[in-house]
Structure 1
């Protein structure tokens, strides 16, 4: 189903999810648009400012059914687009892109073909690596210039002391005198822009850590001192561009690089994990915000509170593993859209929709298989949906999935990230 820029389907029904969703425990991360001139479309004459990457990707999906996978991992989006703009004038798009057909079992007029451009294509992978290498060289050159610079001049963010010479003097002062540590100076790049971003937040009376806004500077200062919030929010990925580690490896953030280092260190340590306990997975109910640590508890909650029995549906409909995945994703999406999946009635809020499902006894009224057993529902409505990782399976399904159910469902979650842009529209088509 095609949609316009506001997320409204061309048929007039506001029904599209144009942004990747995530449960509250882990916020999604967006792509960082590149700086430079307007970015031309790879297939037409339309252009978009580099600051409007989301608008550009939406245009590709809606107008050309083209999806670019893992945009946030492309080091230079503008150069990437210019390369493929040229290549797509030389050869047909099917020579480079995988073709994904939605509503494959539905009427022909509702079937749509989407084209996926990703690094599974060797040419695309090489291009991404070259852009990453070039970006790393530029960043290291910039960092070296800043390390050698002796004309730096800046006032401390927290007092009236002014520093001239090298940036490390100011950074070390803030760490020592104000307990504000952003890391070693040699790990930072684009330092002036970094400090400008921090200063802008403080000028806007915003706490650097919790990012709450206060009524005046005195209140903000007291808050940051008493709460020990003189540090940056590590979950705010606007700061990623200021740390060299984020440029080191293609497709890896500093957290992933650091976790690899931790694993290497663990290999040299004792293998006795008997006293170690994993952090419990939080499984979220299909109909409300309730969370449980185990699948048994969440199944019991949904049955007692909402009258929904997924295990019973699995037996009645003879659902294989991937069919359970698609059904869960379909229900998630319908509830998110405040719609009863049993009768398709639309409501003003999620609470009203869930209340109707329970009162009208529609909660177990699953629509025809053709409505939800579609390829677009392979991909999660919520990117961190732990419920998918706990779905049960049979031996025949394990052979089909090629792995244990949890591994297969984890792969589904991973593939959803690869096709993040595709999920903005096709998962909402019906």
Structure 2
């Protein structure tokens, strides 16, 4: 504003602005002139780009301060667990434990204000996604869980200032920036994928936080560190794929809830239940099949559970299917009245017709 204030004193406003006249066909006394200043003017465009660049530098500096800040302290919005240190610990916790993700920590700026905004909405009993207001906290929680509304509304521009992508280019929103990137990928005629590097799958142990990249490694870890042999259980119980899924989800949920999956005894923390499982020899002890072979265990305890992606069908499943197919009886046609069948045969009628023609 100060820049253009000085320029307007130097030259007439009409040298820089387009003139828009309202009520042009009406009386002169009711006509008004509006002056439009936009970035079509090169001088204005350069000024806007400088201001945008300065703003971007400020945002990146603020983001770096937040990334390095270890004095962050805040309660989780969903379970009231206290987090201190880096902000990423809270954001990762909400994404992992509550399936609520507002994006990667490195893409967010003004994180405290962002969380304050979200907390204020929850305190006002407002859904973060559809932004409807409910009568009490329990109803709100049930609504967000059943409707899968544990996410923010991407169309709400109120959140734009908390994402670095919205500061990258002048006058462009995150949607426009992303769509441009997509077009560049489509227009790229280079089909060379030799530099493609796939991220390895991370599989987490059922009992601790150990991670491995392959099923064999996680099998070995669970067997050596915890005495749990998933492969043995699969073979002994002849578990099909979906039965394995339900068993893994069942054990994960019990451990997450600090409960022994073998005897259903409840403990105060994960370490206590693990000590109990080892001391009582419940590592390979499973409850009755009806306890864990339930439809509710089709759904994973943790989002994107890599262990579920590495399960396989029983080794004998293919041979079982082959044997079953061999046992299927083949039912022949009913030939109990063979004489009547021959007399009524269409072929017999054709032969008779052929003989009469001769």
Q: What's the TM-score, normalizing by structure 1?
A: 0.43
Matches within 5 A, 1:29-428: 81-268=1-188
Aligned length: 190
Alignment RMSD (CA, Å): 1.7
SS in 2 for 1:99: strand
Looking at CA atoms only, which structure, 1 or 2, has the larger radius of gyration? 2
CA drift of 1:87 comes to 2.5
In the alignment, structure 2 segments of 5+ residues that lack a partner are 191-358
Deviation of the 1:241 alpha carbon: 0.3
In the alignment, the residues of structure 2 paired with residue 269 and residue 179 of structure 1 have an alpha-carbon distance, to the nearest angstrom, of: 38
SS of the residue aligned with 2:20? strand
* 1:88-109: CA deviation from partner (whole Å, max 9, x where unpaired): 2333212211112334444444
Give 1:122 shift: 1.6
C-alpha separation between the residues in 2 aligned to 1:103 and 1:198?
Answer: 45
| TM-score normalised according to structure 2 size | 0.51
Q: Considering fraction of residues, name the structure with more helix.
A: 2
Runs of 4+ residues over 6 Å off in structure 1? none
What is the CA deviation profile of residues 297-342 of structure 1, one whole-angstrom value per residue up to 9, with x for unaligned ones?
A: xxxxxxxxxxxxxxxxxxxxxxxxxxxxxxxxxxxxxxxxxxxxxx
Query: Aligned equivalents of 2:30 and 2:71: distance in 1?
Result: 63
What does the per-residue CA deviation read over 1:333-357, in whole Å, with 9 as the maximum and x for residues that have no partner? xxxxxxxxxxxxxxxxxxxxxxxxx
The alpha-carbon deviation at position 187 of structure 1 amounts to 0.2
> Partners in 1 of 2:173 and 2:11 — Cα distance?
34
Partner Cα separation in structure 2 for residue 85 and residue 226 of structure 1: 55
Pairwise CA distance, 1:262: 1.1
Shift of residue 207, structure 1, vs aligned partner? 0.4
- Secondary structure in 1 matching 2:45: helix
CA–CA distance in structure 1, aligned partners of residues 34 and 109 of structure 2: 39
Distance 2:147 2:46 in 1: 47
**Unmatched segments (≥5 aa) in structure 1:** 1-80, 271-430
What is the match of residue 48 of structure 1? none
Residue in structure 2 matched with residue 297 of structure 1 by the alignment: none
